[in-house]
Structure formats: C-alpha cells, structure tokens
Structure 1
Amino acid sequence: MSLDERLVIEPTEKYSVISVQGSTDEGGDVSYVALDVLCPYTASLVHKAFARRRKRWRVTNDSSKAQLHWGDYECLNWDEIVSGRVCGSSYCTRKGLSRKAQLSMYTNKYLSKVPTSPLKKAMPRTIIVDIWEAFDDKMTFNLGGDIASFGDDAGVRQCMSLSDRIDWALEAVRDAMAAAEARGGWILKASTLNKGAGVHLVTDFNDLRDVVHANHDIREWVLQEYIERPLLVHGRKFHLRAYVLAVGCLSVYLFDRVLLLSAHAPYAAGDFSDPLAHITNTARQCETAAFDEAASVGLLSDLATHLTRDGGMADGDAEAAVTGIVTAMRAITAELFRAFKGEFAVFAPLPHCFEHFGLDFMVDEALNVWLLEANPGPDFKQTGARLKPVIEQLMEDTARVCVDGEQCLAVGQAVGGLVLVYEEQWSGSKGTPTMRMI
C-alpha cells in the first residue's frame, strides 16, 4: 500500500486529521517516525517520548517511510515535508524570527501599524548595522559631482580601501548612535549567530567600529540599547529562557517551566571590564572555569524566593511579581507571532509542521519584561544535567500536542506545561492537514 493510500484526510469541525492506516503485532494502528536529532542530550529525551508510545509508533532510520520526521533543521527531508507527504519538526521559512535584524525590522513594521501592541514597550531600541554595501561593486556614490562605483575601472576600488568602504557603510549607524544618546551602552550582536557567539559590549561608535572591522566577514549586526538597571539575583544579572512550541498554522504554546540563567560574576552598572558579568548566555558562561551549573541555571519559579530573601519583598509581593512577569511573557510571545501574520516571505508556518523556539527575556528593576531575541532550534543541552527533567517534560508535552493530538479549546488552557498563548488559523491553511497524526 502506498503512503498516499495510507493517509486518509478526515475533516473535523476545527481541524483536518491525518489518520495513518497500518498494523502492529498487537493488531493496532502504527505510524513511523524518523529521528535525526544530532544532540545526544535532546535525542535521548525525544526517544523516551516515543518509547512511551511504542504500541502506536515505530522509530525508523528511513525517512521515506516515516509519517513524521523529527530532527535538526538541516537533517530534515524537506522535499517530502514541503510536498505535505511528511510532517516535520521545523518550519522551512522562519528567518524573520531567527535573524536578529529581520526580527527588528518586521516587529518595527508591525508596530508602525499597531502602536498599542505590548511589543512597543518590550523591544529594546535597536539599530541595524549592515555593511553589505561595502562589498557591492555596483554600489554608486557621488565623488564631487562624478557618479562612480566601487567596481569602476577608473580606480575607485584602488583609491578606497576595504576599511574606507566599511566606514562609509557605517556612517548611518554613527549618526543613529549619536541621536540615540544611550546612557548605558549597547549590546552588539551578529544577526545570524546564536549561543552567545558574536556578542560584544560597546560603549560608543569607536568600539562598534573596531568590532565590525575585526569581523568584516559578518555583514549584518544588530545594536541593542543596553538595559541599564536589570533585576538581579544574588547581585548577578540574569535573563529568562522560555521555550515556545509553534504548531501548524498557527497555535503557539509557552512552556511554563522557564529557565533563569544568571552570570557567574557580580553585576556593576557601567563596568564592562568583565563581559561575563553582562553576557548571561550559558554557552558563554560555561567557558570559564568558575562556571557553576547549580548556581547559574535555575527556574523562574525560584525567583519569588530570591526576591524575598535578597530584595526584602513580602512573600505576597514576590509571588505577584513573578505572576506579572509570566503574564507579560505570554502576552509578548503571542504578539510576537501575531506580528508575522502575512509575512510569508520570512515566516511561513506549515500546517503539518511544528517547531520549538527559545525566547530570551530580560526583567529590569521596575519589573518590566523585555524581549531580547528568538532562537529556532534551541540548544536544549545548555539546560544542563540537573534540570534535564524539565526538557524531558517539554518533549513529552510536545508529543502530547503534536503526536497524540491533545488540544486546548481556548487561550490560557494548557496541555501539561504547555500553555496556549496564541491561536489563529492563518489565511490559506483552512482545510489542510494539521499535526494531529493518528
């Protein structure tokens, strides 16, 4: 029996359901999943989720016979997924979220239309740093009334060094920084890198210029205004890593077990001598011998205790503060995905796919919540050994939603630890298969 013959589309009131017809030794229906998760830490937990479903699922190495391909983006069988014959664990197009410059550009576009959005106060002021033009031989400019280009035979390339051309491309950034008058400095991030790579603290344009010149192979950056007065735990800066599950086209869940990731060194406002007192990414923090996983990797649910013990808050106020942070994160997450509705060139969710995202948030002293960035295909192993059960629960809850087909009827309801924060059937997705597979 061919795969097309085994897939039966059963329309329901809200979804179309893919039923996979087959049999197991026990006489029940069976489906096949191809697992291509490269990280052993994560792979073991995905395998556990399917081991609990062994009566209805078989793991196969042959993606061509699988109904679901769960793996790293570059390992997925995109021909089969895009055709709709196989469900996948990623969306093919999501650069609007993964590239920091695109994230800034499209959220700003959305805010120009919806200025009352929660994103308005949740996005740090950001300047896009783009030096592509310095490498474009067709770029024209005015030389005392004569129009020339970098590739002219007239010798423009020879008379303008690469350094001069990069400086020329950075002029708009210099002017924007001068106009911004940021008091607490800036965070410079390479647009396409993650895990703390390509992150630099800069205090002025000269610092930025030095970094860009030293890394001119990176053509696109974002410059985020530094959040000068962050909320501290034990006198150390931290950020929150929230895991998000996007399903189909489109339901968005926020996992309620949010990580609290702190720096190993005490925070001192305005003192950038130790970057690791400011850059809290676990991938960077663990580079130092002083890294202590138990002290640096915790949960947001522990924050109320810290606020009571370290900040002198009353128990009720501390609990209310954490509740307010969670509420803000849910609203910001929902609004982030809403901002990309219709932007299919940069974010095109497929109705038969799902994907995990890691959203990074910062909280300041006034308990304002800031969205720093979004990371598709997050590195779960940075959670560490002590909190590995947290990721195990995330994978199990993901399977409940995407494999077992458990549903929330309204925003605010949950499947396990996954809380539905946004649901809207985007145009073009009606009547197509969803992630409900059996």
Structure 2
Amino acid sequence: MPESRSGRATYIITEMSAANRTIDLLLDYEDPYVQPLIKSAFQSRLPSGSYRLIDSPDEHKFGPLVQFRAYEALDFDKAVELPGILINAYVIRKALIRKHYLSTTVSNWVSKHPDSILKTHVEPSVEFELDYAEFLDDALVEAFELKESFEKNEGKKPQDREWWILKPGMSDRGQGIKLFSTEQELQEIFEAWEAERPDSDDEHEEDEHRHEEGERTARIRGGDARGDHEADDNESAPATDGGWGAIQVTHEKKEYIITSQLRHFIAQPYIHPPLTFDDRKFHIRTYVLAAGALRVYVYQPMLALFAAAPYAAPWVNADAESGGQPDLRAHLTNTCLQGSDQREGSVRAFWDLPATLDASNTPAAAELAGMPVDWKEHVFSQICTLTGEVFEAAARGMMIHFQALPQAFELFGVDYMVDARGDAWLLEINAFPDFRQTGDDLKGLVEGLFEETVDVAVKPFFELDGAKPEGTEQLRQVLDIDLGRR
C-alpha cells in the first residue's frame, strides 16, 4: 500500500466498489434556521444506505466525505490534499464578494469585452481609501468621475443633481450605506462617523465589553451574515491605527458601523427611478450555486425584499437629525436594517408579485412604455445572463482572487435591483447568505434550494444515481466552463 497520505486515500477509495461506498456527511452549519433544512435535503435526496451522518471530523477515517459547515470550520487542507472530499465553499472568492474587488472584476472584463451585458447592467464604481475625514480631498484625487459630477452638480437644485450611493467595500447587510450629491455632503458623512469614534481607549474597551455581554453590535463581514470572516480570504485583518477602526456602533443607536476593515469605499451612481410596488422599492435576492471549476446555476424561486418606507427621490424627505441625509428607510431594502414591526410583508416570493404593471409602479410612469408584458420572465432572463457573465469574469479575469476548485461548491446570495424600464442591475454578491431573511413563511424555498444542490452539486461529484450536473427546472444552469483544474 502506498506510504503517502494522499496515495493511501486514493487506493482505499478506488478499490471500494461503488455499491459499498458510504459517504460521511459532516453537516454543521451552525445556524438553527438552516441546519435542519440541510440535513433533511441530504436525507431525502441521497439513496438510503449511501451515507453516514457524523458529528465530528475525527469520526471520518477515510473514504468519501462531504463537509457542509461554516466557512471558518472547513478543513480546506484536507479537501485539497485528499480525493473524495467535497466542501461547501471555495477558499478564495473575493473577486465576487468584496465590493471593491467586484468593481474591478467587472471593469477589467468590460474593458476586454465591450459588448458584455455587464457594461449596461452594473453601475461603474469609483473606488477610494480613507482613514480620516480630513483627508477626503486627497483620497479623491484620482476619483475623476466623482470630481466631474461634483462640478456639474455645483449650483444646481437637489432634484437636478446626479446622486451617488456610498458603500463600504467590505460591509454587508446594508451597513454604512449613504447617499450624496456634493463633495460637502460626502465630507459631512465621514465627519459624522468620525465624531462617533470613542474619545479614549476606556470607551472603546467599554464598547467591546457590551458586545461580549450580548448587545447586538453589528460587525462588517466579508460575506453576508457569514462568510470569510478574515479580512481577505484567510489573510490577517489590517492593523487599526485609530482611524475608522476605532468606531463601533450598535443597531439600537445608529444605522451604521465601522471596524478596522472600513477604509475601502466605493461610490456608484444611484439608480433612480426604481420599479416599485405599493410605493416601496425592492431588490431581488437570487440564490446562486457554483460547483466545481466551473458550473454556475441560478435558483428560479427568488425573493423580493422591500424597503420599510414609501419610496421618495433621494432629494426628498431629508432627515434633519442625520445631517440632511434622505430617509434611508425608503432606499435600503435589506430587511436586516428593519425592526420586527417593519418586516411584516417585507419579504415576498418574486414570482408572486403582480403580473401587470401600471403608473403606480414607478415615480416615472413614462418609463414603463418599453416594459415587456411578461416583465418577470424578462427580469429573470437578464439575471441568468448577468450571473453567468460575472462568474466567468471572475473565473477568467481575476484568477488570483477567485479560485474555483473541482472539490468545492458554494451557495451565494446575489442581489439585483430593477429600474423603471425593467432593467436588472447587479448590486452585490454575498457568500454564506443570511437565509433567515427568508422567514418562516417561505422556508420551503430555502429547503428546495438545498435539495436541488444535492442533486446538482453533490451527486455528480460522487457519481451517484440521479445526478443532474446539467441543472434542473428550478436550478437553471447559466455557465459551464472548463478551467482546466483537476
């Protein structure tokens, strides 16, 4: 028998007959909402007797193994070194899940493929880094698009200006997002954040103590609610030097948070007017499965997540208490920012939205003239094309920052917005999406996603009966490329 660890595993696996192979399932997602759904999906879709549930990595001695765990708990080394081990996350995928990296991914791809759909369905981003508000002018030296916009907006009324949305590059759950149209407004945003920084180490330590005691202190993560908790896919977080890194703010007190990672920012033109229902803006949460190197699938059952307040243009209803900022409840559609009393009806099944549109569905009714009759199919078709294109852009154009592995699969939460013309716009891509946003009423949608994932990603890897690598009616294949990785 070969002496090497990998050779020994190869011998054992290849010598076992397919009929006698038992797959060890290490299912430990650490989320009470998701965990029973994952377990149920494997039990219902895998052939009886083909698997064994285990509770610890130590229980797996050799042979096939599925690790379906939280990102930080995955044994990536074991998956790379040994055959027959399948994991539920890629090691490196920041080309997709970091906002500033995603911006670069799209920009590089469009420069080489000027006819790409990404050119007209992803707002171009202006990236900059900033530690202190007083250095904003220096940070914007190369932000030519912003500078040009500020000059054009000078002297204009708010309704005549071009508006921008500011996003921290490594934030999630809508944290730290602001709207602005002038350099002065942008300056005031950063000054307001800086004013909230603790004045002493004692105050900072007190904030840390509150967090440890269980106060709902929000933290910026690399993915959605979960994901790459390290700064840059297993790289250490940047050291804080007393800049934004000293600020921590809780949900109860403020609408934003700052951590040591909050120094990368992107600004994008704000998409206005949006498509609305019941006068509320919404975005579409699309669940996307990536498998191996590389197949990508879009889950046809999608969610529509609605804002907490009626939509108004960004120059309307500015909140005096927030330094003239618009009422962000009308603009931010992430339900994580909404109280329990506001979430009722905020999450709906996309395909249950009204089939017909009229003037009430947008502040600019004239925009609806070009909207296809079957608008939902039109939007879904765009989402499928966009999703396949952006994953290919990352896989081919940003190979260092998105490394697709044959022995991995991963579920992403991809967010799109629909404007008044029916155009879908890619907003962001989240690793380890917060499935709990779906709620109890639509939990079956998430359960179906895991069941389809077993058929499309798990069974093909182990060559089991019922494998559907080409996708299913609900999990539509949008990309199938060979990156030459074995």
Partner of 1:77: 75
**C-alpha distance 392-8 of structure 1, shift in aligned 2 (>3 A):** farther
Is residue 375 of structure 1 aligned with residue 367 of structure 2?
Answer: no
Structure number with the higher strand fraction is 1
Contact residue 133 and residue 190 of structure 2 kept, 8 A:
no
Match of 1:331 among 378, 385, 403: 385
Residues 384/172 of structure 1: CA separation in 2 closer, same or farther (3 Å cut): same
Q: Which residue of 1 aligns with 2:165?
A: 187
1:291 counterpart residue number:
343
Whether the 8 Å contact between 1:361 and 1:372 is mirrored in structure 2 is yes
User: Are positions 1:340 and 2:409 aligned together?
Assistant: no
The answer to whether the 8 A contact 1:239-1:261 is kept is yes
Q: Aligned residue for 1:282?
A: 335
Q: Deviations over 1:98-142 (max 9, x none)?
A: 1100100121011011010000000113111212xx6xxxxxxxx
Structure 1 residues 309 and 404, CA gap change in structure 2 (3 angstroms):
farther
1:123 is matched with 122
Kept after mapping to 1: 8 A contact 2:24/2:52 = yes
Judged with a 3 Å threshold, the aligned counterparts in structure 2 of structure 1 residues 207 and 318 are, in CA distance, closer, same or farther, namely same
Structure 2 residue aligned with 1:419: 476
* Structure 2 unaligned regions, length at least 5: 154-160, 195-243, 246-261, 319-325, 461-466
**1-structure distance, mates of 2:428, 2:329:** 18
SS at match of 2:394: coil
Which among 443, 451, 457 is matched to residue 396 of structure 1?
451
Residue 258 of structure 1 pairs with residue 302 of structure 2: yes
SS in 2 for 1:403: helix
- Determine the C-alpha separation between the residues in 2 that align with 1:398 and 1:351: 15
Partner SS state of residue 122, structure 2: coil
**Residue in 1 aligned with 2:197?**
none
Contact 1:254 1:330 in 2 (8 A): yes
CA distance in 1, matches of 2:110, 2:303: 28
Question: Residue 368 of structure 1: CA displacement?
Answer: 1.1
- CA shift, 1:49, in A, is 1.1
From 293, 297, 300, give the equivalent of 1:249. 293
- TM-score between the two structures when normalised by the length of structure 1: 0.79
Query: Which residue of 1 is the match for residue 142 of structure 2?
Result: 172
Does 2:236 match 1:238? no
Alpha-carbon deviation of 1:74?
0.9
Q: SS of the counterpart of 1:240?
A: strand
Pair 392,163 (structure 1): closer, same or farther in 2 beyond 3 Å: closer
Structure 1 residue matching 2:166: 3-state secondary structure: strand
Q: Could you tell me the TM-score, scaled by structure 2's length? A: 0.72
2:352 is aligned with 1:302: yes
Q: Deviations over 1:228-255 (max 9, x none)?
A: 1000111110000101000000000000
Equivalent pair of 1:304/1:322 in contact (CA under 8 Å): no
Deviation at 1:166, TM superposition (A): 4.8
| Cα distance in 2, alignment partners of residues 408 and 163 from structure 1 | 51
Take 1:63 and 1:205, find their aligned partners in 2: how far apart are those partners?
Answer: 53
What is the percentage of aligned positions where both structures have the same residue?
31
Distance 1:87 1:19, change over 3 A: farther
Correspondence for 1:31? 23
Matched residue, 1:199: 177
Alignment partners' CA distance in 2, 1:58 and 1:185: 55
- 1:364-394 Cα deviation digits (max 9, x unpaired): 1111111011111111111111100000000
* Aligned-residue offset at 1:319: 5.3
2:57 to 59, 63, 80: 63
- Cα contact 2:290–2:296 (8 A) shared by 1: yes
Distance in 2 (CA, whole Å) between partners of 1:88 and 1:190 is 29
- Following superposition, the deviation at residue 318 of structure 1 comes to 6.6
Deviation at 1:170, TM superposition (A): 3.5
CA contact (8 A) 1:84 1:352 kept: no
Whole-Å Cα distance in 2 between the matches of residues 55 and 307 of structure 1?
Answer: 51
> Which deviates more, 395-404 or 64-73?
64-73
Tell me, yes or no, if structure 1 residue 407 matches structure 2 residue 401.
Answer: no
- Contact 2:459-2:468 at 8 Å conserved across structures: no
Q: Is the contact made by 1:88 and 1:354 (CA closer than 8 Å) also made in structure 2?
A: yes
Question: 1:323-363, CA deviations, whole angstroms, 9 ceiling, x for partnerless residues?
Answer: 11111111111110111233221000001100011111111
Cross-structure match for 1:107: 106
- Does the 8 Å CA contact 2:92/2:402 hold for their aligned counterparts? yes
